[in-house]
Amino acid sequence: DWNMPDYISEAVEKIRAQVGTDEVILGLSGGVDSSVAAALIHRAIGDQLTCVFVDHGLLRLNEGKMVMDMFANNLGVKVIRVDAEDQFMGHLAGVSDPEQKRKIIGREFVEVFDRESGKLTNAKWLAQGTIYPDVIESAGKGKKGQTIKSHHNVGGLPEHMKLSLLEPLRELFKDEVRKLGVALGLPHDMVYRHPFPGPGLGVRILGEVKKDYADLLRQADAIFIEELRNTPYEATIVPGFDQDSEPKNWYEATSQAFAVFLPVKSVGVMGDGRTYEYVVALRAVQTQDFMTAHWAHLPHSLLGKVSNRIINEVRGINRVVYDISGKPPATIEWE
């Protein structure tokens, strides 16, 4: 079996031998892979590592603050946070095609990352949280919208900065990456978070992305996730979904759950007035591989509570619907 302390000391020695006294840059996204890579490399070389965290304004509620609290404040990792919300929103204005939005977000991401990395003129290495399934996958076709992974050698970085790749998680599967993350001191909830797409809320706001929409969506999404975490799970047998460990709550019992912003208005009533506001859809799926997925049979009481809370707490949303489409024929995301 896998001996974690031995694994960590070997991995640390390997990184030290590889980079020596060189400086390393890592693009931190807040996702599991880049976070675990950052924690491992930091364990090996401390301040020789600088992380660049691009906030594109399409992150979840308080996500930027959580990343900074965990890495900069608790672990003492050097992190440069780049607030690029205006740049991303500017380039996304007027664009409603999903693939076009993905392209723009990917392109701007690389642009911002390279601009900030270019300031770290002593760096010799670019670290990435590439894991074993990514290695296999990139032998075939890449995942849609993938940005930072495999972006080395792109233009934008100064010519003298020929960075070598450092990929300490290349041989690990996702469950191993998670165990490593916990062993390195990352919080359990962060390491076992549902996957979040690179383009973030950009593909969960249907059509044109606007800051106001993102702000509403962030609030609705946070309420949904909070209630999933707070609602105990009573075991029901779901075909095609078996977990390694018994889920304790509905967040753990689902593979991915989130809110989607629909830029259409519908009529409602509030007090003795009529409202005309936006709609939010809730999506929760259970899946093994994300290639096919079942919609989660969430308890009606949970759905009711989430709906009430969103409508009462999020000014600008007066209707909540639940997505009961399977994949296929629907996809997990709405775009």
In whole angstroms, how close is the CB of 270 to ligand XMP at the nearest point? Answer: 33
By CB under 6 A, residue 331 contacts ligand XMP: yes
* Range 56-115, binding ligand XMP (CB under 6 A): 102
Would you count residue 202 as binding ligand XMP (CB under 6 A)?
no
In the bound complex, what is the minimum distance in angstroms from residue 290's beta carbon to ligand XMP?
Answer: 4
Q: Distance between CA atoms of 208 and 210, rounded to whole angstroms? A: 6
Distances 9 to 74, 135, 186, 217, 275 between C-alpha atoms, Å = 21, 23, 17, 42, 60
User: Is residue 145 a contact point for ligand XMP (CB under 6 A)?
Assistant: yes
Annotated ligand binding at 33? The verdict is yes
The nearest distance, CB 145 to ligand XMP, in angstroms, is 3
Contact between 197 and ligand XMP by CB under 6 A: the answer reads yes
Largest separation between any pair of C-alpha atoms in the chain: 71
118 annotated binding-site participant:
no
**What's the burial of 240, exposed, middle or buried (CB within 10 Å: 0-12/13-18/19+)?**
exposed
Residue with tokens 């059509």: 207
Question: Closest distance between ligand XMP and the C-beta of residue 199, in Å?
Answer: 5
Number of H helices, E strands in the chain: 10, 9
Q: Give the per-residue contact string, 209-248, with ligand XMP (x = CB under 6 A; - = no).
A: ----------------------------------------
Look at strands 123-127 and 23-28 and give their pairing.
parallel
Does the annotation place 31 within a ligand binding site? yes
Query: Could you tell me the smallest distance in angstroms from the CB atom of residue 37 to ligand XMP?
Result: 16
Does position 333 interact with ligand XMP (CB under 6 A)? The reply is: yes
**Cβ-proximal residues to 45 (8 Å cutoff; 6+ apart), any chain:** 15, 16, 19, 24
**Between 26 and 311, CB nearer to ligand XMP:** 26
Residue 191's nearest CA partner among 9, 34, 4, 50 is 34
Footprint of ligand XMP on this chain (CB under 6 A)?
A: 102, 143-146, 195, 197-199, 256, 290, 327, 331-333
